[in-house]
Structure 1
Amino acid sequence: MRILFAVSDYPAHYFPMVPMAWALQSAGHEVRVVCSPEEAGSVSRAGLVPVPLLDGPDMLVRGRIFHYFAALGEGADRSLGMPLHPVTGRVLEKLSDFDWPRYKRENQQRNLTAIRRSLDDTVEFARQWRPDFVLHDLMSLEGVLAAQVLGRPALCHLWGPVGPAEDEPGATLVPQDHTESFARHGVGPMGPELVGRIIDPCPPSIAAPFTGERLPVRYVPYNGPGAAAAAGLGGRGRRPRICVIWGNSLAGLLGPRSFLVPRIAAALGGLDAEVLLACDPAALTDEERAVLPGNVRVLGYAPLGLLLPTCDAVVHHGGAGGGMTAAAVGVPQLALPFTVEQSVNARRMARSGAALALDGRTADEAAIRAAVESLLDAPGHRAAAAALSAEIADRPSPAELARELLAAAAV
């Protein structure tokens, strides 16, 4: 059989789909991944075949435009300072320094043309390749459209506790079709109602609301290739180990004040624990590195599936990748979210008892330290984390779900 994956242009959105693609490919079936040219390399490094057809405005640019308009609103939150310029990514001195009418005039038609071309090219590829079914992530218009045009089954593979039926403002991630391509292809309109089946890695205790068909799958951690040595597996002493996971995309979206790693490191300084910073070393200034406490070590990026099982607590910004990996391996976690999606992730993890959540915009060093000490010392968090891990392990493996999908597609 042939299975088409369609993914949006952010690796963390499709990394959770990689084990399913491996399972289908290992069973002897053909897998193709429609992606942007920028993502073709990471798809190839996962051992999969990219089809680099997608184009359109950069996801960070779109996100910065969203937060720019949020800053224009009455009573806007200014705890992170001025928003970033949507194009350059630099902190604005004043809101008028970004000329939205000019940007729209110069870019809107080009962006719409690029999105329309991506949708049409994906449909054309699907018509020629004739997949038996389509798997797509939550923000992929192309996968939904191709499946609808060809009359093939489509499944939305979630990356964590946020789903297609959220009702909280700002949490709905299913994109709209601003190009009217669905209507041009005789499909439409695009909306959550076209996402009728999901592959869900979350057990009921942390799952998103959804009334359609939910296919459970075990979460298998993957956040890119890497060696065991790079994951800091050697030389662990008697002290507890705390891992701080922080990527660069948040600062690229919200600005430098959202990079909390120096504050977290200071909060955990002097604690009788080993603290590993799983972040880009270049994101720390020379001054910040010079004042890191003696129990804190900069590790850099690492395969989380190898690193987190060696840890006793995890601190992260509420992203699904770090949160789901910590949940899968049974490590208590502290989430410090900034965006609505991250806050939803954090709240659903916290309701299981396996996590604590603090607002990343307001959490100070004392609150961060107290929360981490609670994760290390309170047995309830460890027990809840172990229970959540057991729930995830009890779900069907990607290989088991792959057999079910293939059997259904063969009927």
Structure 2
Amino acid sequence: MRQPMKILFIPGNSPYPIFSHTPLATAARNAGHQVFMGGIDWVLPNIASVGLPAVKISPVSMEEVSAFMGAMPEDPAEQLKAVGRVYAEIAVDSLDRLLDLADHWRPDLVVGGGMFYTAPLLADHLGIPSVRLEWDRIDSRAYDPGAEPVLAPVLAELGLDKVPAPDLWLDVCPPSLRPEDAVPAKLMRWVPGNPQKPLEPWMYTKGDRPRVYITAGTRLFSGEGLRDMARSVGKLGAEVVVGAPEAVAAELREEVPEVRVGWVPLDVLAPTCDVIIHHGGGGTDMTALNAGVPQLIAHPEYPTTATRRIVEYGAAALVESGGYEEINAACESLLKDPSYRVRAQAVSREMAQLPPAHEIVGDLERLVAERA
């Protein structure tokens, strides 16, 4: 092995990117390299929960994220711009903190997430290689128009006309679901990661009824929609499990006592599910594909071509609008038509054949050696 490296991971501004980057960060650490992971204040406990050193790059809190989500524009294009803008603002705000970190712990390599703005700016300042590791199947270039006006002054100071391209682009999207205009990238196997808790037998045991898992992701601050959907889907005769942060789950348990509610380790639960219903989040989507489980994307948080691609492939159904009758009808179709599971399992086998994270560590080592 070459000399141990110092690698800084900067995945993104919510919990899911942390878990998406954890396999590669852990593989690098297991290979003997020093690894730090940076994040906004909200996600620092998530970084610590996966056993990695957590570095605060911005004081943005959960309350501020909640306020931002609550003020999100209704127009889909404006939503993308709003998200791109806030990621760019955090990138600019975090640069001084990261440069201070480099005075004491200078990275040899920086790995950034899908909205890649912090990592390449820091890498350019330090003259080190950068890697872009996508979180999921979503093409994050759609957020760039919102980021560009914020980044323009910083890029001008650096003498750049655009965000520097990464030295290595890593993509976890299964080949069958990659868009035709996808950026050339090295593919890496995606491994599910999420908060863990002591397991109960029902979490990994298949029952005698179809199991439907419902979630709205990690950025959930109200459980009203989950409550109503759980009651509706329960009418299909399915066992319903609702995944929600504990602050939301506590209230839901009282309102729907017949439903299992809580933050269940989805990597454990997914193989026992017959359908996974969610909001279009990348982590849930990838976990369902990894387990070969059909999914129903209901009222997606952000409309994306990635969502439509999996529907066209035949491994998912989409309900963009409409009420619980439409959702129930789509869910029932997924439960009764075996073709959805056949297609989902085909993607699962494809994902399993991609290079695992520990093989990618050698690529990181070569980048640093070549730059040296």
Instruction: Return the match for 1:200 from 162, 165, 171.
Output: 171
Write the distance in 1 (CA, Å) between the matches of 2:284 and 2:167: 27
Q: CA deviation at 1:301?
A: 0.5
Cα deviation 1:137-171 (Å, max 9, x = unaligned): 123532111111222221221111212433xxx68
Write the distance in 1 (CA, Å) between the matches of 2:260 and 2:98: 42
How many residues matched? Answer: 357
TM-score by length of 1: 0.76
User: What is the match of residue 275 of structure 1?
Assistant: 240
Paired letter, 1:225? Q
Instruction: Return the match for 2:107 from 110, 116, 131.
Output: 131
Instruction: Return the match for 1:3 from 7, 17, 20.
Output: 7
Write the distance in 2 (CA, Å) between the matches of 1:62 and 1:280: 18
- Report if the CA contact (8 A) 1:353-1:384 is conserved: yes
User: What is the match of residue 219 of structure 2?
Assistant: 249
Compare 309-318 and 263-272 and name the one that shifted more. Answer: 263-272
Q: CA deviation at 1:384?
A: 0.1
- Report if the CA contact (8 A) 1:177-1:190 is conserved: no
Write the distance in 1 (CA, Å) between the matches of 2:235 and 2:71: 40
Write the distance in 2 (CA, Å) between the matches of 1:274 and 1:399: 37
User: What is the match of residue 314 of structure 2?
Assistant: 353
Compare 136-145 and 20-29 and name the one that shifted more. Answer: 136-145
Root-mean-square deviation (Å): 3.3
- Report if the CA contact (8 A) 1:162-1:208 is conserved: no
Query: Where does structure 1 lack aligned partners over 5 or more consecutive residues?
Result: 74-85, 87-107
Write the distance in 2 (CA, Å) between the matches of 1:403 and 1:173: 35
CA pair 147-160 structure 1, distance change in 2 beyond 3 A: same
Q: CA deviation at 1:349?
A: 2.2
- Residue correspondence of structure 1 range 98-137 to structure 2 within 5 A: 116-126=92-102, 128-137=104-113
Larger Rg: 1
CA pair 53-60 structure 1, distance change in 2 beyond 3 A: same
Cα deviation 1:187-238 (Å, max 9, x = unaligned): 53444x635743211112223565544121111101222222287235x432
User: What is the match of residue 73 of structure 2?
Assistant: 67
Instruction: Return the match for 2:289 from 327, 337, 340.
Output: 327
User: What is the match of residue 188 of structure 1?
Assistant: 160
- Report if the CA contact (8 A) 1:161-1:208 is conserved: no
CA pair 208-131 structure 1, distance change in 2 beyond 3 A: farther
- Residue correspondence of structure 1 range 282-297 to structure 2 within 5 A: 283=248, 292=256, 296-297=258-259
- Residue correspondence of structure 1 range 156-195 to structure 2 within 5 A: 156-166=132-142, 177-178=150-151, 180-184=153-157, 186-191=158-163, 194-195=165-166
Instruction: Return the match for 1:391 from 341, 347, 350.
Output: 350
Paired letter, 2:238? A
Cα deviation 1:364-409 (Å, max 9, x = unaligned): 2222122112212112101101001011111111111122322343
Paired letter, 2:315? A
CA pair 337-4 structure 1, distance change in 2 beyond 3 A: same
* 1:366 is aligned to 2:325: yes
Compare 261-270 and 319-328 and name the one that shifted more. Answer: 261-270
Q: CA deviation at 1:55?
A: 3.6
Write the distance in 1 (CA, Å) between the matches of 2:159 and 2:228: 49
CA pair 211-371 structure 1, distance change in 2 beyond 3 A: closer
Write the distance in 1 (CA, Å) between the matches of 2:51 and 2:239: 34
Instruction: Return the match for 2:229 from 264, 275, 282.
Output: 264
- Report if the CA contact (8 A) 1:16-1:221 is conserved: yes
Instruction: Return the match for 1:303 from 255, 265, 289.
Output: 265
- Report if the CA contact (8 A) 2:155-2:161 is conserved: yes
CA pair 63-244 structure 1, distance change in 2 beyond 3 A: closer
Structure with greater helix share of residues: 2
Write the distance in 2 (CA, Å) between the matches of 1:172 and 1:208: 20
Compare 383-392 and 47-56 and name the one that shifted more. Answer: 47-56
User: What is the match of residue 92 of structure 1?
Assistant: none
Q: CA deviation at 1:282?
A: 5.1
Compare 131-140 and 317-326 and name the one that shifted more. Answer: 131-140
Q: CA deviation at 1:47?
A: 0.7
CA pair 26-325 structure 1, distance change in 2 beyond 3 A: same
Write the distance in 1 (CA, Å) between the matches of 2:181 and 2:191: 22
Query: Where does structure 2 lack aligned partners over 5 or more consecutive residues?
Result: none
- Report if the CA contact (8 A) 1:157-1:200 is conserved: yes
User: What is the match of residue 33 of structure 1?
Assistant: 37
User: What is the match of residue 18 of structure 1?
Assistant: 22
Write the distance in 2 (CA, Å) between the matches of 1:197 and 1:357: 33
CA pair 289-363 structure 1, distance change in 2 beyond 3 A: farther
Q: CA deviation at 1:49?
A: 0.8
TM-score by length of 2: 0.83
